[in-house]
């Protein structure tokens, strides 16, 4: 990392957890992701989900087609590398894991407990019954990406992450001690400390919204739907602990935006939907969070080194520069057929921007 008082130049980051959606949505989401990130881990909870290596290959082709059509610099297009993920179901086989390994494009397998988040109805209902798949993943070095929440109706939504750690993830780790696991978008002190207590094959991604906000931001003065995501924002003491570990320099923790687009009219409807859209301004958001605790010098490792190291991939060679200059977050972006997509902190001003 190089910097002056007004600039911060980083090795080009990767986003180890992003939702690009599919088809017409890609015209918006792919250019936004490409302008800041080289590799992106593309979540598979489409409709229908990406369950097989063949489906992952076709999805990647659709992403690259959207990239080719985008009006962005050719260098950024050349460096953009969507890495695919299979959606784990009750019917995923060990043979499918072997095919994923051979493909060279499938980076991981995603565990969604059934009903945990957007488009997760096909998720796993018997997590501890997936032993054969976990054994194959452990054998082939394919990481398991975990949406860490139980979905029992009698468990409070603010307690679901801790219950998952105690009842599910601890058992998986005990039975498959060499399985590489990413605790996705952790939200609690419990998850941060759990990750720290595990061996080096267990890491965690942290989103910008969970570093910058807590449930007061979402609920005080009226419900603010654009802060609503799953796992849900937690208390301020959990936010503080996430900031501590993200800025600690510990390689277990790395960048994953969980940027998730929803058309504004759906996001702001009576029932709403979970997800914060941050891809176009994720790096200024992270810089804001790290600067808030005097840790800008720790941002490059978190954003550009630790994730690649965990996945066993080379560090990027290109760079990106942030400038201490006000950035006005747009009120919205064109999305799908004449609809609008409202980003996180729409209409507000950030102190950092990405240099053109």
Mean pLDDT on 135-147: 97
What's the confidence (pLDDT) of residue 115?
Answer: 64
pTM: 0.95
- C-alpha 43/C-alpha 277 separation (Å) is 14
Is 74 among the domain residues? Answer: yes
**Catalytic entry in 200, 258, 326, 337:** 258
Is 267 among the domain residues? Answer: yes
**Average pLDDT of the chain, as a whole number:** 95
CATH code (residue 62): 3.20.20.140
Instruction: Write the CB contacts of 277 (distance below 8 Å, at least 6 apart in sequence).
Output: 259, 260, 261, 262, 341, 342, 343, 344
Q: Is 147 within any annotated ligand binding site?
A: yes
Is 2 among the domain residues? Answer: no
Q: What is the DSSP string of 192-231?
A: HHHHHTS-TTEEEEE-HHHHH--HHHHHTTS--GGG--SS
Is 1 among the domain residues? Answer: no
Q: Is 258 within any annotated ligand binding site?
A: yes
Is 211 among the domain residues? Answer: yes
Is 64 among the domain residues? Answer: yes
Strand 106-111 with 253-255, pairing: unpaired
| Helix 53-69 with 94-103: angle, nearest 10 deg | 30
pLDDT for 236 beyond 60: yes
Is 165 among the domain residues? Answer: yes
Q: Is 339 within any annotated ligand binding site?
A: no
What's the confidence (pLDDT) of residue 121?
Answer: 65
What's the confidence (pLDDT) of residue 117?
Answer: 64
Range of the domain at 154: 7-354
Task: Count how many domains the chain has.
Answer: 1
Q: Is 66 exposed, middle or buried (0-12, 13-18, 19+ CB in 10 A)?
A: buried
- Residues above pLDDT 90, as percent of the chain: 89
Q: Is 81 among the catalytic positions? A: no
**pLDDT confidence band for 84 (50 / 70 / 90):** very high
- What is the tens place of the pLDDT at every residue in 187-207? 999 999 999 999 999 999 999
Is 176 among the domain residues? Answer: yes
Q: Is 152 within any annotated ligand binding site?
A: no
């Amino acid at each position: 990392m190089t910097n002056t008082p007004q600039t911060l130049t980083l090795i080009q980051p990767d986003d180890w957890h992003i939702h690009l959606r599919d088809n017409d949505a890609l015209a918006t989401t792919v250019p936004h992701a490409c302008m800041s990130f080289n590799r992106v881990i593309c979540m598979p909870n489409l409709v229908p989900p990406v369950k097989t290596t063949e489906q992952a290959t076709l999805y990647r082709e659709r992403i690259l087609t959207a990239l080719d059509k985008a009006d962005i610099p050719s260098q950024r297009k050349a460096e953009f590398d969507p890495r695919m993920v299979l959606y784990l179901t009750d019917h995923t086989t060990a043979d499918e894991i072997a095919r994923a390994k051979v493909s060279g494009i499938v980076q991981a397998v995603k565990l969604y407990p059934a009903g945990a988040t957007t488009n997760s109805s096909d998720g796993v209902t018997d997590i501890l019954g997936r032993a054969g798949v976990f054994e194959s993943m452990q054998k082939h070095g394919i990481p398991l990406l975990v949406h860490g929440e139980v979905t029992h109706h009698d468990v409070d939504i603010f307690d679901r992450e801790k219950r998952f750690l105690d009842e599910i993830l601890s058992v998986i780790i005990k039975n498959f001690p060499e399985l590489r696991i990413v605790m996705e978008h952790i939200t609690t002190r419990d998850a941060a400390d759990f990750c720290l207590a595990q061996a080096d094959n267990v890491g965690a991604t942290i989103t910008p919204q969970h570093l910058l906000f807590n449930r007061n931001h979402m609920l005080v003065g009226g419900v603010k739907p654009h802060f609503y995501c799953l796992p849900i924002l937690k208390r301020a003491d959990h936010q503080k602990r996430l900031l501590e570990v993200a800025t600690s320099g510990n390689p277990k923790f790395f960048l994953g935006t969980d940027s998730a687009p929803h058309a504004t009219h759906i996001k702001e409807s009576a029932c709403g939907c979970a997800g914060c859209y941050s891809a176009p301004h994720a790096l200024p958001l992270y810089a804001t969070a790290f600067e808030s605790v005097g840790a800008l010098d720790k941002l490059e490792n978190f954003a550009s080194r630790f994730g690649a190291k965990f996945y066993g991939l080379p560090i990027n060679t290109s760079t990106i520069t942030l400038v201490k200059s006000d950035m006005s977050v747009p009120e919205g972006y064109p999305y799908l057929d004449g609809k609008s997509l409202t980003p996180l902190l729409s209409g507000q001003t950030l102190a950092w921007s990405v240099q053109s």
